[in-house]
Structure 1
Amino acid sequence: MSGVQPCNPVQGIEKLVSELKMPKTDLQGLDKGELSTVTLSWEKMKDKNWFQDTDIFRCTAQQSEVDFLVHSVIHHSSRPTLENVISILLINQEPLVSMMFKRKDDWPFPEYLGSCGRLAIFEYIGPSIAAHYSSSWPLRAYFAVQLLQLAKRFSKPDKTGLVIYPTDWTAHNFAVDEENRVYLVDLEGIILVNQSIIREKKAPGWDTYYTADRFGCTNCFSFSTADLCTHAESDHNYHGVCGGLLAPQPYSPGLAGGLLHSVPRNILARHPLLPRLLDECWKSSKPGGREEAADLIIEILRSELVDLDLQNLT
């Protein structure tokens, strides 16, 4: 059409970065020789709906979170630019999550290796948990312990005040490496919540423990983003791991009977409360009930794994 200028995505991103870029004045990273001098302005980003609609900025985003993101990314070994940061943020947040929560800091995520256009490359961890459906019960119990510990770690603020809420707790999103360690490998559906900001603002109901109530959805995983964003504590992750993976009728396809199916009779004899605890971890509506059940399940499963060579279980 006459008079219409052609769209150049590269120039568009460069122009957007020039609008959002600003100097960074704090000394984050100085002790590691990773001082960053530029960041992106959240005041300007939040005026653009594109950024507010991304999961990692959906809740209580602040300038400090943007600084953490930029600092983590520009010092990553793949050396992304601010243009890359903006492009990835608008297309697929998975590389950013991997770069913010690094393997070297013991986060259970695959390492991001780099991108070419829309193609992002991550390390291969191994087969999914679903592929271990017929593995020995001790091995599946070991996976269950790791999944529950993962839910606990994600639910507690790290040094930045952030908690991690995955929104798709299905078996195919978790993989196992050669040493039987469990990783979350699908990083697209992750909501980050800054609980430090929630505690500072003290909005009505902020300190009420938020219990996921399944919203009338009996056999599926549902959640309220608004509630996750406004409460300082939630059992969302316990609901996800127990209801999605460990329950006798889990939400996740490919795990009939749950990851802990076919519990040996001698173990049930020693721990007759295990089935009830699995049910509580899935369905409890008592504030903190799911977390309490999860802690007891971990204790039981660990007692059955003592003296086993966990890395070589099959």
Structure 2
Amino acid sequence: HTHFTAYSWRLLFTVTRSIIFLLFPQIFPEAEGWPFPKYLGSCGRLIVTASTRPLKEFYSSPPEVAADLALQLLSLVNSMRNNDMNYFFYFVHVDAGTFGIFNNGLLFIRDASTLGIIDKQEGLQMTDEQQEYKDIFSCLASDCQSAFPSCNSVKEKQSLVMVCQELLPKLLKGKFLQPVQEKIDRFLRLCADSFRADQEVSDAAGKLTELLKSLQSCDSHFAYRYPDCKYSDKY
């Protein structure tokens, strides 16, 4: 039997988080449309792009840039909740360092250490046998003396609420003329309300998404979707 000190648990937790951070971009590669940086090799050698910038540098950006990034954030969170692979990704925490921007204007997840995943195809409920079984990795996420947390404790709205609380207000506050700004602020308040039902939060985020789409412009400044947008009926 191995004796783990408090330092050992912290070290193991740090190593495990690092492994998870490396595995996400390899299992869900950028080449297949997942919003992670590109990694090469079995050990996850990162292609470093000097022109990437953290989201916080865009808080003072012009309205058209702020609207574009906010729309990307909402679309990213929605795609991580609903995708053809039937995986449900969720954040346990977000901040300005969680996301970054490539030089072409495309938003990506630069820190996956606070990202969790549930395979919806396997179902959300755990069997009694699974709930009783404990190993050292289970103890990293919860107290070994308490019951193993159910996947059902993760709400559909969780990531949306975090993004609407922590990031979107800093991007969108005071950027637009009335009555557009008033609508944006109202949808943000509803989306950021953790006491509302999942569907209410999702509906508010959907209305905000549609409003932001109407504010998008099509020019070469947004290289990640130009010139494709020239041939789209949206513009």
Query: TM-score scaled by structure 2?
Result: 0.70
Rate the CA distance shift 1:271–1:99 in 2: closer, same or farther, 3 A. same
Post-superposition offset of 1:108: 0.8
Match of 2:32 in 1: 105
Post-superposition offset of 1:112: 1.8
Q: Determine which structure has greater relative contact order: mean sequence separation of CA pairs < 8 Å that are 6+ residues apart, divided by chain length.
A: 2
Q: Does 2:90 match 1:165?
A: yes
Post-superposition offset of 1:226: 3.1
Match of 1:240 in 2: 162
Aligned ranges 1:138-157 → 2 under 5 Å? 138-157=64-83
Rate the CA distance shift 1:270–1:166 in 2: closer, same or farther, 3 A. closer
Query: Higher Cα Rg: structure 1 or 2?
Result: 1
SS in 2 for 1:163: strand
SS in 2 for 1:264: coil
User: Is this contact kept in 2: 1:173–1:186, CA < 8 A?
Assistant: yes
The letter of the residue matching 1:301 is L
Rate the CA distance shift 1:259–1:114 in 2: closer, same or farther, 3 A. same
Rate the CA distance shift 1:308–1:289 in 2: closer, same or farther, 3 A. farther
Q: Does 2:192 match 1:282?
A: yes
Q: Does 2:210 match 1:299?
A: yes
Match of 1:37 in 2: none
Aligned ranges 1:38-117 → 2 under 5 Å? 91-114=18-41
CA deviation vs aligned residue, 1:262-291 (integer Å, no higher than 9, x gap): 2222xx224632211111110151231111
5+ residue gaps, structure 2: 1-8, 129-147, 225-235
Match of 2:53 in 1: 127
Rate the CA distance shift 1:294–1:309 in 2: closer, same or farther, 3 A. farther
User: Is this contact kept in 2: 1:198–1:231, CA < 8 A?
Assistant: no
Rate the CA distance shift 1:90–1:138 in 2: closer, same or farther, 3 A. closer
Cα RMSD for the two superposed structures: 3.2
**Partner Cα distance (1:261, 1:299) in 2:** 18
Aligned ranges 1:130-279 → 2 under 5 Å? 130-159=56-85, 161-198=86-123, 226=149, 229-230=151-152, 234-247=156-169, 258-265=170-177, 268-270=178-180, 272-279=182-189
User: Is this contact kept in 2: 1:198–1:230, CA < 8 A?
Assistant: no
Q: Percent identity?
A: 22
Q: How many residue pairs get matched?
A: 193
**Partner Cα distance (2:211, 2:165) in 1:** 19
Rate the CA distance shift 1:244–1:226 in 2: closer, same or farther, 3 A. farther
Post-superposition offset of 1:166: 2.4
